[in-house]
Structure 1
């Protein structure tokens, strides 16, 4: 007898969902039964923790453009989803959470867990999703699934929660009464596309033509719109500086002469220096967030600006653009490319080349270091030499993002680097690698995490081992929460709350990996890095390469400067370190 779990599984399969990540519960077993009948089209990946199901689904969504689907049971399963949902919400990643619930006629008993595991899930999810719904009946379910896909994939994409009561899941599915169908437009984001008005496009073209030192900042919206080809064409025509946010990496290859890497306090020194010299900054699929806008010091008052975004609320959030192109990134770039002839800014390109070379010289100096504990750039250079163009790199939060951005160049346009920057929470890389490996089973996945981040989700190594995934997990172990420890030492001196080990206890992640069924490698000296990476890359399965690194090493340029200068640094006062600059209007004419 078919049940409503069959209906959900069938609709997911018809929407092109090949993978569902999650943790079963009694209230959602009907879904798992429905998936088990359709394994030729859809499979379930069992995670060790519900929060990690959202991270795995996030990686699937970033690599496919389809909504990542995760399933959890009522109560303790549901309340672990926020970390992944907020990441997806802030990063505009399409995601659908299928959430179990108490039977409909038990809902008055949900308060205080009177009915086991019950709480007000709908109100809870409304705060961390684009939208959330409680399915009120069997007959409403198909339309609510269609709504979930439409909202998750519509501009701007994001996560939604569909809360399905136990009795609805288990009810008989009478296919003659409850019909199903899918809206094929919502199989992949974006659900619809719009184009900016012609007058705004003309104004943007005129502004670009007048610019002597143009720059474009590509954000994650380029990937969300599937606009890699158009971004590459535009950057080439612009004849100016091309930089990206962390999530925008891969919009263009960083080997191009005008591409200067990642604009971020822990990103490319050259990008940070050069963007200040631009007379026009084009923010393309980038929300000009705190980090990409360098604590909102960008754009500078004298810089003209163009914003390209499908979300009308992004045009003027922190500055008034000279020209706002409201519409889909791919459509907007296509219109610009159709009207923009090849620009020629030879002096600006020469300046870009000179500053880039200065930055590369600085990096070469860091890479050459033989000091002990190991300098992380030395590790990254060895890793870069072994990465293939089609390998996927998954970054965890904190310093790992900076080491990757600075020392693992993007050699091929496309989304080959996954960053958790919507919320920037620790613990993303290992579960996201599970999702990436299941999505791209023929690719090698490489994660980079500090020991603090790696500790969050070390249990998902068992998932990698169980599924024999080709994942190389790099752990940069400095025995600290590196960012926090340096912050405490620079500004507060003797605080010691960020230490992760003691003389009597030093966690061995390589050993833990071996105990969980992976290959484990421990590296203490520079000469051991290459052989360990070679062995890990040659292994047909998951591995962990734990590398003991310098606890004072940092990719953050301002931290480096403070440490070189030494002396006491003034303690930051609330509202001064990350103070939003006065809202400002960009100039309409260039100097």
Structure 2
């Protein structure tokens, strides 16, 4: 057995911080870390990924479900330069992550330029562009303090990814197990690092504004889950007597089976949510950054809508509009305080009736899509079959593009909590398969379901081998239309049918179910609606990973504006070079 080294110190500090899984790819410069983890296999394990980018995605899913920083490790150079996709996803979605990054020895640093030191480049400058903070460890004695700082920064409001870059000679340096000591801060093992609440007068102003509202709406974002506040928010929503919608990342903040819940507010989300939020006289933005999609291209809030913002980041209170009442602090603490200050709520029967009316119209539209017997298959039919088989403990991992919309609109969240994972920080293709690996590591034995288009699935199909290696209970549903569906319709509607989004032709038809079988998974191919149920039943019964490939209509879309344009046959002319697009307007929300 080798003598203890600084890789042991890093592994020990990770284990003491509650990290029980590290996702990554070893290299010569990081072998000391892997040796340290192997000595502590009863407390911490390493999950070998096939691609470093996927290690970050797996760590991201791990963090979303546990609240603990997801940890990924990569070697210097070619390993390190694949991390930014996952880091940017975590950065924009406020997910705590720690990247342990290898580096050339300290006295080689001046030799990195132009590749003179094999694999070397300026990693510190590189990672500072896509993390909350990054550090190059300068000495053995500095390493434990930097690692403690990494946990604090990753979990503190606003959570996000950090990079700890450790030179080869520091990793390999001897460690006696005593000096430097592997001290950790137990306050930083889970987000949020510290909780705060808004001043009492702000809470009172917000409560008074809510009482005056005739048509209040609550918009829940991913910050609800980041604060572990879904049950608290559900209790508040039960009392509010108003509309509740969520962002994609906020799905599950309240059960969507409640009468007041209208689904996901997003161009590819719920039609009822989009319609109803326009009619609110007060919008409470709860843990939502009011992004382009949740803010419906920043048309929300409307000039006549009062607003309350609840967020731990002071820079979010006024980014695109000035709220009537800003409440700075932790979502859970503020909602608890609001709930206590609210007092008896006025009856709002007209608003409740309107919510029920619009939701019923939307449900009738969805029922027609779900009942379709057409071939190729309509995705809503697939989602309905999935929804019937999902248990309350099952986790659904969405890929980007249309998959997010199919899940959002047709698989309801039945209980409060983070049961749905959406890659919305960047919206990059390829999240679902590695995300499922990270999700499965948090809850051994729990079923994980992924939904991806064939374009997204192609990005990370090699990680199916990882699912097979670890015998994870993952059902991967591939909605295969042979196209990059969003791009194809965008080209057709706005650019008069430019065809560069075709993934297959009459002579090529990739088979993902067959590829899954070759990688050690069960594979099922579905061509007609009557085959969906039996294939899903077989996949759900399998004690291991599987792929269910469904051939779907290449013109199916969850985006309501696309549906409308195709129904109407409308054709927007191609934007001319030099077109000036109108900037969004910064608004001031009124009082009621």
TM-score strictly above 0.5: yes
1:112 and 2:114 aligned = yes
Equivalence for 1:423: 426
Equivalence for 2:402: 399
For the 8 Å contact 1:238–1:342, the answer to whether it is kept is no
For the 8 Å contact 1:255–1:410, the answer to whether it is kept is yes
Equivalence for 1:370: 373
1:499 and 2:520 aligned = no
Equivalence for 2:84: 82
Q: Secondary structure at the match of 1:465?
A: helix
How many angstroms does 1:442 deviate by?
A: 2.1
Q: Summarize deviations over 1:171-229 as a string: whole Å, max 9, x none.
A: 00133431121100000001111110111111101100000000000000000011112
Aligned residues, how many? 589
Describe the shift of the 1:224–1:578 C-alpha distance in structure 2 as closer, same or farther (beyond 3 A): farther
Describe the shift of the 1:224–1:410 C-alpha distance in structure 2 as closer, same or farther (beyond 3 A): same
Q: Secondary structure at the match of 2:389?
A: coil
Q: Summarize deviations over 1:218-270 as a string: whole Å, max 9, x none.
A: 00000001111210111111100000000000100000000000000000000
| Aligned ranges 1:174-213 → 2 under 5 Å | 174-213=176-215
Describe the shift of the 1:291–1:14 C-alpha distance in structure 2 as closer, same or farther (beyond 3 A): same
Distance in structure 1 (CA, Å) of the matches to 2:578 and 2:166: 43
Equivalence for 1:388: 391
Q: Summarize deviations over 1:277-318 as a string: whole Å, max 9, x none.
A: 000000000000000000111001100000000000000000
Equivalence for 2:146: 144
Alignment equivalent of 1:361, drawn from 352, 364, 372: 364
Q: Summarize deviations over 1:105-132 as a string: whole Å, max 9, x none.
A: 0000011110000000000000000000
Equivalence for 2:489: 486
Greater Cα offset, 8-17 or 336-345: 336-345
Gaps of 5+ in 2: none
Alignment RMSD? 1.1
Alignment equivalent of 2:237, drawn from 229, 235, 241: 235
For the 8 Å contact 2:17–2:184, the answer to whether it is kept is yes
Alignment equivalent of 1:268, drawn from 270, 287, 301: 270
Distance in structure 2 (CA, Å) of the matches to 1:182 and 1:578: 51
Describe the shift of the 1:575–1:78 C-alpha distance in structure 2 as closer, same or farther (beyond 3 A): farther
Equivalence for 2:298: 296
Q: Summarize deviations over 1:36-64 as a string: whole Å, max 9, x none.
A: 00011000000000000000000000000
Q: Summarize deviations over 1:520-556 as a string: whole Å, max 9, x none.
A: 0000001101100000001000000000000000000
Alignment equivalent of 2:412, drawn from 409, 412, 435: 409
Q: Secondary structure at the match of 2:533?
A: helix
Q: Secondary structure at the match of 2:489?
A: helix
Greater Cα offset, 117-126 or 492-501: 492-501
Q: Secondary structure at the match of 1:85?
A: helix
Equivalence for 1:246: 248
Q: Secondary structure at the match of 1:332?
A: helix
Distance in structure 1 (CA, Å) of the matches to 2:225 and 2:475: 25
Equivalence for 2:220: 218
Equivalence for 1:61: 63
Greater Cα offset, 350-359 or 123-132: 350-359
Distance in structure 1 (CA, Å) of the matches to 2:580 and 2:503: 27
- Normalising by structure 1, we get a TM-score of 0.98
Distance in structure 2 (CA, Å) of the matches to 1:189 and 1:442: 25
Equivalence for 2:470: 467
Distance in structure 1 (CA, Å) of the matches to 2:17 and 2:393: 27
- Normalising by structure 2, we get a TM-score of 0.98
Gaps of 5+ in 1: none
For the 8 Å contact 1:279–1:302, the answer to whether it is kept is yes
Q: Secondary structure at the match of 1:546?
A: strand
For the 8 Å contact 2:488–2:497, the answer to whether it is kept is no
1:522 and 2:525 aligned = yes
Equivalence for 2:48: 46
Q: Secondary structure at the match of 1:143?
A: helix
Distance in structure 2 (CA, Å) of the matches to 1:11 and 1:429: 29
1:126 and 2:128 aligned = yes
